Chains A and B, each alone.
Chain A
Amino acid sequence: MGEPFLLKYIREADQGEYEAYVSRGGYEGLRKALAMPPEQVTEEVDRSGLRGRGGAGFPTGRKWKFLPKDPAVTKYLVVNADEGEPGTFKDRTLIEGDPHRLIEGIVIGSYAIGARQAFIYLRREFYKGRAILERALAQAYAQGVLGEHVLGSGYDLDIILATGAGAYIAGEETGLLESLEGRRAMPRLKPPFYPAVKGLYMQPTALNNVETLCHVAWILSGGAEWYKAQGSPILVSVSGHVQQPGVYEVPLGTPIREVIALAGGMRPGRTFKACFPGGSSSAILSAAYLDVPMDYDLMKLDVYGSMLGSAALIVMDDTACMIEIVARAVEFYRDESCGKCTPCREGTVWLGQVYERILRGGGQDSDIELLQGIAKGMTGTCFCPLGESVPPAIASSLRFFRSEYDHHIRTGTCDVRAHAEG
């Protein structure tokens, strides 16, 4: 297990400057990549075992291999920098703190798949990140890292920086492509439009997350073997009721309890109650799961919808009202639903109304069954993952915190709140 490296230079004030980046070994990975045939670059990434860090966890090398090899076919690389999953802020941290790493990863990835144009779809609200990235891109062009003859090679690449306009669903890969094409960010039908086959402008497209591409830069720099020896690090965004919220680099499989400890532990006098291990679309885990390792096996837990996702660990202590939390998550998905499919559009509204009524003190005994029923009707019936993100929090909160629901419904009040404030 090596030293943390993903965040190694993140706090260096000049890390966004080309010279500083290069002086710390930057763009070495790219030089090595350009010396290899593209397929070998893909192979290297594949051998590293890197899995996409956007939430789905699909192996990056394999994803690239889905793209056609024919050089006559126009291909694109698209960077998903539309970080919006509640509780996730690692990509923003990387963009603001190490922009050239991202650019390096983009050039390597584009070279590997044979793209001549790459696009960064950046969340609009990341104004600071955009300024930093724009500056870094200009430097990269000026230094010959971008444009014609990348680093003196025969390879040309342009990077186009685009921004969103306020829509969580644009973070869904096909919604992102729609948005990048200047349309409503409504997800596309898959199949036939798997991005690797028909992506941006209906051309084969590799879609990668910011963190993923930063890993790629490190992998090419140090080699797949070195990377694996580091323990397949991941970035966890820790927030909520911890003393030192922030982004932490840990080896894949670090138990939740340890990650919380890294983040300074719980606030004085408070105890752990629950957490979302992978953002608000993952199931809520209770204290009984504190020793569960944060890795892709989270999905195999006996809790419906549990997953690592984008590794956004939202920690809640004993002052958190679970009904309020879940209601807020439901509202979020309701407001961010694109409206295309029925269950997501209508189900979230209905769920929101029931939660609101319960919180207002108008709960009824039948509401538990109703919530379960609505959530069940959305499970496996939605067009895209957004709608499917709603049931896990409902089901898991009903399982672990049923008594809180009962109390709300019975008394019309919140005992957690009363206790916390009293």
Chain B
Amino acid sequence: MAQFPRRQSALLGALFVAQEEAGYLRPDVVAEVAQILDLAESEVVSVASFYHLFYFEPVGRDLIQVCTNISCMLNGCHRVLTRLRERLGIEVGRTTPDGAYTLRTAECLGACEEAPVVMVGTERYGPVTPEGIDDLLDMGSPQTQGPLAPHEEDR
């Protein structure tokens, strides 16, 4: 398969790889990426910090993203979010003490037909109800297919 014509184009991809390995972008991880791509560390941090999906602090094993944009809002995302906060015992932006989950709100995830939409790790779920949250969390790892229908099955 083809390569990028210029090295810096590989930066976002390299940062994801580094982040997956290290958990988050520690200074030494940044330094390594910078060295590999022959970029200034300042440039690497500057670029990474621009994007929502790079972390400079530890995050949970799974990231839970609740879309709160208009279509999801019209379909009750806040009740879902409230339920999640209660169940996880954390506020938005925080990580559960056991390091399992980090809870975040997200902007439109491009699946408004399934509003309200929640993503756990790389899996997307919707429409999610507060009760569905219970099932989702009870199921443990999102990798395990549970009672909550993943999005690809027709609604």
A-B contact pairs, 11 of them (CB 8 A): A127-B122, A128-B122, A128-B151, A163-B13, A165-B12, A165-B52, A166-B53, A167-B50, A182-B37, A201-B5, A316-B74
Q: Do B12 and A86 touch (CB < 8 A)? A: no
Asked if B149 CB lies within 8 Å of chain A CBs, one says no
**In the complex, B46 has a CB within 8 A of chain A:** yes
Size of A's binding interface in residues, CB under 8 A: 61
| Complex interface: chain B residues within 8 A of A36 (CB) | none
Nearest-neighbour CB distance to chain A for B41, whole angstroms, equals 14
Give, as a whole number of angstroms, the nearest-CB distance from B46 to chain A. 6
In this complex, what residue of A is CB-closest to B14? A182
Q: Mark A77-103, 1 if CB is under 8 A from B, else 0.
A: 000000111111101100010000000
**Number of chain B residues close to chain A: CB under 8 A:** 48
Partner of A328, one of B16, B54, B68: B68
**B16 and A181 form a contact (CB under 8 A):** no
Inter-chain contact A245/B71, CB cutoff 8 Å: yes
Q: Are B12 and A237 in contact (CB under 8 A)?
A: no
Asked whether B53 lies within 8 Å of A124 as measured between CB atoms, the reply is yes
Give chain A residues whose Cβ lies under 8 Å from the Cβ of B52: 165-167
Q: Does B30 contact A (CB under 8 A)?
A: no
In the complex formed, the residue of A with least CB distance to B44 is A182
Q: Is B9 an interface residue (CB 8 A)?
A: yes
Whether the Cβ atoms of A159 and B2 lie closer than 8 Å is yes
At the interface, yes or no: A246 with Cβ under 8 Å from chain B?
A: yes
Asked whether, in the complex, the Cβ of A86 is within 8 Å of the Cβ of B70, the reply is yes
Contact across chains for B9 and A180 when beta carbons are under 8 A apart: yes
Cβ of B152 within 8 Å of any chain A Cβ, yes or no, is yes
Chain A residues in 8 Å Cβ range of B111: 89, 92
B71→A314 contact, CB < 8 A: yes
Closest residue to B2 on the A side, CB-wise? A158
How many Å lie between the Cα of A179 and that of B11 in the bound state?
9
Set A85, A180, A201, A239: member contacting B115, Cβ < 8 A = A239
Contacts of A239 in B (CB 8 A): 71, 74, 112-113, 115
Residues of A within 8 A of B110 (CB): 83-84, 88-89, 91-92, 123, 125-126
- Check A181 against B9 for contact (C-beta < 8 Å): yes
Q: How far is the CB of A405 from chain B (nearest CB, A)?
A: 18
Q: Judge if B8 is at the interface, Cβ distance under 8 Å.
A: yes
Q: Is there an interface contact between A87 and B16, defined as CB atoms closer than 8 Å?
A: no
Nearest Cβ on chain A to B9's Cβ, whole angstroms: 5
Minimal Cβ-Cβ distance residue in A for B119: A125
The answer to whether A336 touches B11, judged by C-beta atoms less than 8 angstroms apart, is no
Q: Is the interface of A mostly helix, strand, loop or mixed?
A: mixed
A332 at interface (Cβ–Cβ under 8 A)?
yes
* A86 and B50 form a contact (CB under 8 A): no
A residues in contact with B107, CB < 8 Å? 84, 86, 168, 332, 335-336
CB contacts under 8 Å to B, within A192-244, are 201, 237-241
At the interface, yes or no: A174 with Cβ under 8 Å from chain B? no
Residue with the greatest number of chain A CB neighbours at <10 A, chosen from B11, B51, B54, B112: B112
Contact A246 B5 (CB under 8 A): no
CB neighbours (8 Å) of A107 from chain B are none
Additional A-B contact list (11), CB under 8 Å, known A86-B108, A141-B1: A87-B69, A87-B70, A87-B71, A158-B1, A160-B3, A165-B16, A168-B107, A185-B51, A237-B112, A238-B113, A247-B113
Chain A CB count within 10 A is highest, among B2, B65, B106, for B2
**Is residue B139 contacting chain A, with contact meaning CB distance below 8 A?**
no
Q: Which residues of B contact A163 (CB under 8 A)?
A: 12-13, 16
| A125: nearest chain-B partner, CB-CB | B109
Question: Hey, what's the 0/1 contact readout for B46-81 against A, CB within 8 Å counting as 1?
Answer: 111011111000000000010011110111000000
Q: Is there a chain B Cβ closer than 8 Å to A48's Cβ?
A: no
A325 at the binding interface (Cβ < 8 Å) = yes
| A31–B26 CA distance with the chains assembled, in angstroms | 50
> In the assembled complex, how far is the CB of residue B120 from the closest CB belonging to chain A, in whole angstroms?
11
A165 touches B9 (CB 8 A): no
A117-B5 contact, Cβ under 8 Å, with A86-B69, A162-B13, A314-B70:
yes
Q: Are B69 and A328 in contact (CB under 8 A)?
A: yes
